[in-house]
Amino acid sequence: MGEHPDSALVRRGCTAFSQGDLETVSTMMTADAVHHVPGDNAMSGHHKGRDACLDLYRTMFEETAGTMRVDLETVMCDGRGHAMAVHRLRAERGNRGIDMKTGNFFTIVGGKITDIDECVEDIDAFDAFWGT
pLDDT tens track for 84-96: 999 999 999 999 9
Burial class (CB in 10 A: 0-12, 13-18, 19+), 71: exposed
Please name the helix (run of DSSP H) or strand (run of DSSP E) that holds residue 80, with its range, or none.
none
Model pLDDT, residue 24: 98
Residues contacting 17, CB < 8 A, separation 6+: 25, 57, 70
> Which architecture, in CATH terms, is 5-130?
Roll (3.10)
Instruction: In whole angstroms, give the CA distance from residue 30 to residue 75.
Output: 20
pLDDT tens digits, 64-86 = 999 999 999 999 999 999 999 99
What are the Cα distances from residue 11, in Å, to 37, 81, 85?
20, 14, 8
Judge whether 90 and 71 are in contact, CB under 8 Å: yes
Domain boundaries, given as residue ranges, for the chain: 5-130
* Whole-prediction pTM: 0.95
Low-confidence ranges of the chain (pLDDT < 70): 1
In the 8-state DSSP scheme, what is residue 87? E
